[in-house]
Amino acid sequence: ESGEVGLDGFDHYMLKEIYEQPESLRNAMRGRLDDQNATAVFGGLNLTPQQLRSVERIILTGCGTSWHSALVGEYLIEELARIPVSVEYASELRYRNPPIENNTLVFGITQSGETADTLAALNETKRKGHRTLAICNVVASSIAQAADGGVYLHAGPEIGVASTKAYTSQCCVLAMLALYFGRMRHLSFEGGQRLIEELRLLPNAVQQALTCNEQVKDVAKKYASANNVLYLGRQYNFPTALEGALKLKEISYIHAEGYPAAEMKHGPIALVDDATPSVFIVPAGGTYDKVMANMEEVKARGGPVIAIASEDDPHVHQIADDVIHVPQVQQFLQPIVTVVPLQLLSYHIALIRGCDVDKPRNLAKSVTVE
């Protein structure tokens, strides 16, 4: 597979794919933003507007990184479209036999389209008569074929085992779906226009976020010998914390945990000491002050703090040991920007530790067995 796709001068596929994100996001949005109606358009949902309008619940299911984008999707769809969303691990959903109401739409989210548990969860819900859709990267994959319809990511082949560009494209497609469902309901024309404007700014914001690479390298040197790392964020950036921790675990084999920042008090804070760094995702926004307060608690207990913060944040330096700035974007798109330095951090730490970044031990690109 990787034989057909070149490295284009990058040392690893993972790094190449991290840098491809401005372009993969453009590809995810191409032809899908409808200015005339201030909404999104999708060619392959295969459901009538009436069927989509009558949706009363959405289930988002997947595994690994795709499950994290489902969590972002939950925030997006509930906030922008006001449709209740449940996020399910596909491996749990397939055997849990939950009661599922009529008019529930089930999305399987998957880069490869071949993950056995996601395929089985989708087939099980489809068998019960629910409409199933795929958010998928690989065209004509098993899950794309099994679903009633879906949305392709168009991110291009992802070779690195640790998912990067597929994740940000999944989040982007979910944002467009939230816009689409929102515009079928309460979201105004002007509201839709504003969301489209924000979406259009995204590829450049991610491009700008990538300029932190050299700084992230220095931060990586400082913390590469850690045995435990905490990742903390709230709201849209709670999934970012989970994803940052997963990236570090996957490729550097450092134990890491992602938590909603406020939950730290209920356990993880017991782990804090001067050898256990915490990565706070703390961009400007609704819960900024709260996350800063959590950060102070960690500092007060001697824990080193790395902050991912907005570009013009004047306060964060006073508390955090290291600050990586990212461009400010609307809250609902922040996870797509804040994850970039975390992808790079795991990459550089893994390199320093001599790990095989593109083919980490014990992991497979797609898990096609149970």
* Contacting positions for ligand G6P (CB under 6 A): 62-66, 110-112, 115, 118, 161-163, 363, 365-367
Q: Which is nearer to ligand G6P, 161 or 187 (CB)?
A: 161
The minimum distance between CB 162 and ligand G6P, in angstroms, equals 6
CB atoms within 10 A of CB 182: 23
The angle formed by the CA atoms of residues 199, 204 and 207, to the nearest 5 degrees, is 130
342: Cβ contacts below 8 Å, ≥ 6 apart: 231, 240, 243, 244, 247, 279, 281, 308
For residue 356, give both structure tokens: 């095989």
For residue 128, give both structure tokens: 């019960």
Q: Which is nearer to ligand G6P, 167 or 259 (CB)?
A: 167
List, as one string, the DSSP characters of 197-224.
HHHHHHHHHHHHHGGGHHHHHHHHHHHT
293 SS3 class: helix
The minimum distance between CB 133 and ligand G6P, in angstroms, equals 15
For residue 294, give both structure tokens: 């959590």
CB atoms within 10 A of CB 11: 12
The minimum distance between CB 236 and ligand G6P, in angstroms, equals 19
The minimum distance between CB 157 and ligand G6P, in angstroms, equals 12
Q: In the complex, which residue's CB is closest to ligand G6P?
A: 64
* Catalytic residue flag (residue 299): no
The minimum distance between CB 184 and ligand G6P, in angstroms, equals 27
Q: Read off φ and ψ for residue 201, nearest 5 degrees.
A: -80, -15
Q: Which is nearer to ligand G6P, 19 or 280 (CB)?
A: 19
Q: Which is nearer to ligand G6P, 284 or 367 (CB)?
A: 367
Asked if 337 and 327 count as a contact pair (C-beta separation under 8 A), the reply is yes
Pairing of strands 255-260, 228-233: parallel
93 SS3 class: helix
Q: Which is nearer to ligand G6P, 105 or 155 (CB)?
A: 155
Q: Read off φ and ψ for residue 231, nearest 5 degrees.
A: -120, 125
The minimum distance between CB 28 and ligand G6P, in angstroms, equals 15
363 SS3 class: coil
Q: Which is nearer to ligand G6P, 310 or 366 (CB)?
A: 366
Single-letter amino acid, residue 148: D
212: Cβ contacts below 8 Å, ≥ 6 apart: 324, 325, 326, 340, 341, 344
For residue 144, give both structure tokens: 């794309």
Which of 16, 165, 247, 365 is an active site residue? 365
Catalytic machinery residues: 365
